[in-house]
Structure formats: C-alpha cells, structure tokens
Amino acid sequence: MRILYDQNMPLVEHFFADLGLPLLPFAGRQLQSSDLQDNDILLVRSITRVNAQLCASAKPCFVGTATIGMDHLDQNYLQQQGIAYANAPGCNAQGVVDYVLACLLLLWLEQGIAFWQLPLAIVGVGNVGGQLAKRLQALGMQPLLVDPIRAQIEPGFVSLEQALAEAQIICLHTPLTSDGPFPTRAMISGPQFASMRPGSVLINAGRGEVIDGQALQQHWPAIKGHLILDVWPQEPQVADALLQLCYLATPHIAGYSFEGKARGTWMLYQSLAKRFAWPLKAMPLSPQPWSAIGLAEQLSLSDCARVLLAHYHPRRDDSVMRAALYGLDSELRASRFDQLRRQYQERHEWASLPWQGLDARMRALIGLDV
C-alpha cells in the first residue's frame, strides 16, 4: 500500500509519515493511470479527476479529496468498483467566507456600495453558504437564502427566481451537479441574467460551471454591475473577454487559507484512521508568528474594513492574476493559472489571528461568535 497525494496538500508528512507507508507526491493535473498501483491510497484536490480512465490500470483502495466539493470524483464509478472515498466537508468554509467578505468590504471602500444596506442572496446554503449567512446575520443583515434541497424540509428559503429579481448582491456557493432534481451546471444562464437588477454584484466562489460562460459574456455588459470571479467556466482556461468583465478576478484561491488546507488533510487522515484503525491525531495549531493585534474598543466599519483588508486584500490577487495572464495564448494561460494556484502564498483565516479588544462588529465580520 502506498499513499499518493497532491503536492499542494500541507501536513501530509505530519499525519502520515510514521505509518511506514511510501508517500508519493504528484502534480494535480498530471496524474496518469500508469502512476497508480492496486490498493493505493489516493489523496487529491479539486483539479484531479478520479474516474474509470484514471483507474483503468489499477484500482486504489481509497480516494480522498481534501475539498468540500466532489464533482471531480466519479462517485457512481467508485461505488460500482467498491472503492471507498471521502471528502472534507467544511474544511475551507471560513477561508471562502473571509474572501467573500473581503470583496464586499473592498466594494464599499472603492465603490461606495454599502452591502449591509442592500438585499443580498446566498445561492447554496451548505458549509460555505451557511457560514456566510451566519456572519451576515450577526451584522444585522437578513440575506435571501436559496437552497431547493433544504427548502423541501426546512422553512426560510426562497426560489432562485425570487432571489435574482430582488437581490442587489448574489453570492454563489452551490456544488456542481449535472443530474438530479436540481442540477446546478449552467444554472445561471441567459434567463437568469435577464432577471437581474441593473448594477447587481455577482460573486462566484463556488464552482465555475454553475455559470454559463457564453451567456455571462453576452449579458453582463448590459447589467453594468460588478462581477467577482474566483472560479471560472472551463477552468483552467480563462477567456480574456471574461477576465476583462471582472471587477475582481482571482485564480480559484478563495479557500486557500493555511487553516483550510490543513483541515482538509486532517479530515482525510481522520477518515483513514477510522477505516484502518490508525491512531487518531489532533489538528496542529496554526503557526502564529505575530504579536497580539490590539484594537480600540470601538471601531467604525471603515476602520474594521481597513484592518481586515490589511491581512487579506483581494486586489493583490487580482493584480497578480491579470499581470500573469496578460498577452498569453490559451495554452500558456491555463498553465500559468495552475502555477498561480500552486505557488500561492497561503493566507491565514481572520479568526486565527491573535486579536485583542474586538468589538461586536469585528467579531461578527471575523466569525468568532457564529
């Protein structure tokens, strides 16, 4: 038995090295069927597709993805072959919500869009969308919640049509699905864009292909709003025309916090430990090379925004991405996009920083009380 793991997964040696199993890293998009042997443990992230083609020459005994989503795993195939699999639900939810709130704070500082005063919709209220809803509610907002699966058994949800017609800000956090009663692939297409309010803000930090890319290019100029994309149709290909429409553009790094990635590895280790009766291990503490961050007891929202953006500022990632992709052909753009993700300097989640003297508003933004 060997452990093959995505080279971008942190703490693999911390959790697995003392088991006496070979640890073999691989580049996420470059894993080939010939790299596998029967009975391997395969640990992936979202860019590695695990299906019959990958497992044609050898079948792993376990596939784990250190991500919330599982659309890159052919779950039907894995079940048919008796291959166990697991994901890491909620591992990077805090980091993604930090990203979305940083974008909203930046919109306010740069564009004067007071997001807390506007109707906001969250489409997909799972781990990420649910955490975002709680933090916005702690700020006194009442976001419109869209989740047709949960709406079948719980009150408090609205339809996608109602949300798009009423909300000025739309945040997408659904998984990518192609079948079932509520498929999400291309769920935001021509008719949905036509129903959006002029000047809308659209943020996608979920899955790129829940938006129809061609329809987005066709309809967004008429909306004259603010488009924020961290995930992209046909990723890692990023159409230049689509990039130019964006107010903020980032290379699928919304959840790339140190804590989120580490949590993903730890959750897969926990799944494997239960399966193979390995010793359980605790999640290690985040490294904190900072002194305590002391703040005044009462801060204005603009002060809160500037303090938080000093620790993560999406405009930096936007500038790096635009500079890296400028003037390249499609093949090189795809390669450079992956390079941006591979070499990304992971940030720390706001809640992991050693704050002191936080007022209620800062605690809500950071997520300490939800």
Quick one: pLDDT band at residue 355, thresholds 50, 70, 90? confident
Quote the domain boundaries for residue 264: 3-87+257-276
- CA trace torsion 258, 263, 268, 269 (10° rounding): 90
- Closest to 318 measured CA to CA, from 35, 159, 171, 102: 102
Is 185 found in the same domain as 69?
no
- Mind listing the pLDDT tens digit for each residue in 276-291? 999 999 987 665 555 5
Secondary element (H or E) of residue 272: helix 258-276
Quick one: pLDDT band at residue 345, thresholds 50, 70, 90? confident
Task: Please identify which residue in the block is written with the tokens 């291309």.
Answer: 186
Please tell me which residue in 45, 173, 226, 252 is annotated as part of the active site: 252
Rounded to whole angstroms, how far apart are CA atoms 276 and 271? 9
Please tell me which residue in 207, 341, 347, 348 is annotated as part of the active site: 207
Checking if the pLDDT of 294 tops 80, the result is: no
Residue 283, in any domain of the structure: no
Residue 287 pLDDT: 59
Is 234 found in the same domain as 121?
yes
Is 82 found in the same domain as 102?
no
Please tell me which residue in 173, 209, 219, 235 is annotated as part of the active site: 235
- Quick check: is 341 catalytic? no
- Quick check: is 207 catalytic? yes
- Quick check: is 154 catalytic? no
Checking if the pLDDT of 247 tops 70, the result is: yes
Is 190 found in the same domain as 248?
yes
- Count other C-beta atoms under 10 Å from residue 88's C-beta: 25
Tally of structural domains, the chain: 2
Residue 300, in any domain of the structure: no
Residue 98, in any domain of the structure: yes
Decide: 366 and 355 in contact? Cβ < 8 Å. yes
Is 234 found in the same domain as 210?
yes
- Mind listing the pLDDT tens digit for each residue in 88-127? 999 999 999 999 999 999 999 999 999 999 999 999 999 9
- Tell me, what CATH number does 151's domain have? 3.40.50.720
Secondary element (H or E) of residue 190: helix 190-195
The DSSP letter of residue 111 is: H
